[in-house]
Amino acid sequence: MSVRSACLALALAAGAGITAAPPASAAQSAAADTRVVFPASVQQGAMVIGRVPPGSRVTHAGRTLRVTGYGSVVFGVARDQAGPVEVRVQRPDGRVETVAVRVDARDWPVERVGGLPPKTVSPPKAVAERIAREQARVAEARTRDEARAGFAEHFTWPVEGRISGRFGNHRVYNGTPGAPHSGMDIAAATGTPVRAPASGIVSFADDLYLTGGTVVLDHGHGVSSNFLHLSRMDVEPGTEVRQGEVIGAVGATGRATGPHLHWGMNWFDVRIDPLLVLERR
């Protein structure tokens, strides 16, 4: 099988929504598969799924990657990653192979957001300290590394609507430059149900100063989704969620000028682009 065919087969398997161990025949086939398959190139902000022989030890960016029983691994490429990125694979027999994945640069336009309450753009000291504490709690939720495989499902849109803010774009709030946009904004009416784009477990759910109603859903292997500005949260930490189940409702809580869903994704502390995940084949 050619490398191109192998990549296509991997993408089809990932897009099929594999969340549990495959049938015995497929598991036996995977166990006999000794290929190491990663895409030749990805974009900045991508979620990268690769295939290795089951039982391999895989490292990337100083982290040992969890490997599924059928040999899938995942990692994220940061918005500003220059590339190429390297993945080191130690096969079960001890042989080592290093794979280089090219990273294609993207253009990042400027988005200007006005009409925000000044205290949310330049908060007073007490508020800034509260924001820091709350963001530290969210960051802690993103450190989980569980053996669930929701990350390998074909992700679906959590709500339908117009994209009103794109991942990675430079943000200017009330004329003040801010951090790059960390997710994708989808405009929708207040109260619109928000559905899980892939299966997972809720690792965080609370009402925060900047992000309002906030839910973090852990998809496994360090991949998580966060849903911000919710008017209602229908889940709590520890809730198991299947793809398509309602987790809350669109709102305009926190720092928002109107109702929309902010959907962000992470691989641990690396922010990735939900739109690229949706478009993955």
More confident residue, 280 or 189: 189
Strand duo 72-76 + 96-104: pairing = unpaired
Span 110-279 CATH architecture:
Distorted Sandwich (2.70)
At which residue do the structure tokens 């993945």 appear?
A: 87
Task: Give the pLDDT band (50/70/90) at residue 281.
Answer: low
Which neighbouring-strand residues pair with 46? none
Q: Are 264 and 182 in contact, with CB atoms under 8 Å apart?
A: yes
Task: Give the pLDDT band (50/70/90) at residue 118.
Answer: confident
Q: Is the pLDDT of residue 14 over 50?
A: no
Query: pLDDT value at position 104?
Result: 97
Percent of the chain with pLDDT strictly greater than 70: 88
> What dotted CATH number matches 3-104?
2.60.40
pLDDT digits (tens, 9 = 90+) for 268-277: 999 999 999 9
- Give the span between the Cα atoms of 1 and 195, in whole angstroms: 38
Mean pLDDT value of segment 105-127:
83
| Domain regions of the chain by residue span | 3-104, 110-279
Task: Give the pLDDT band (50/70/90) at residue 89.
Answer: very high
Instruction: Supply the pTM of this predicted model.
Output: 0.85
Task: Give the pLDDT band (50/70/90) at residue 210.
Answer: very high
Q: Is the pLDDT of residue 229 over 80?
A: yes
- Give the span between the Cα atoms of 221 and 120, in whole angstroms: 33
Task: Give the pLDDT band (50/70/90) at residue 101.
Answer: very high
Q: Are 75 and 221 in contact, with CB atoms under 8 Å apart?
A: no
Query: pLDDT value at position 170?
Result: 85
Task: Give the pLDDT band (50/70/90) at residue 28.
Answer: low
Task: Give the pLDDT band (50/70/90) at residue 112.
Answer: confident
More confident residue, 22 or 154: 154
3-state secondary structure the chain: CCHHHHHHHHHHHHHCCCCCCCCHHHHHHHHHCCCCECCCEEECCCEEEEECCCCCEEEECCEEECCCCCCEEEEECCCCCCCCEEEEEECCCCCEEEEEEEEECCCCCEEEECCCCHHHHCCCHHHHHHHHHHHHHHHHHCCCCCCCCHHHCCCCCCCCCEEEECCCCEEEECCEECCCCCEEEEECCCCCEEECCCCEEEEEEEEECCCEEEEEEEEECCEEEEEEEECEECCCCCCEECCCCEEEECECCCCCCCCEEEEEEEECCEEECHHHHHHCC
Task: Give the pLDDT band (50/70/90) at residue 34.
Answer: confident
Domains 3-104 and 110-279 in one fold: no
Q: Is the pLDDT of residue 9 over 70?
A: no
Query: pLDDT value at position 29?
Result: 55
CA 104 to chain centre: 19
Q: Is the pLDDT of residue 147 over 80?
A: yes
Q: Is the pLDDT of residue 8 over 50?
A: no
Mean pLDDT value of segment 114-118:
76
> Which of 240, 203, 206 shows the shortest CA–CA distance to 222?
203
Q: Is the pLDDT of residue 15 over 70?
A: no
Percent of the chain with pLDDT strictly greater than 90: 75
- Give the span between the Cα atoms of 276 and 268, in whole angstroms: 17
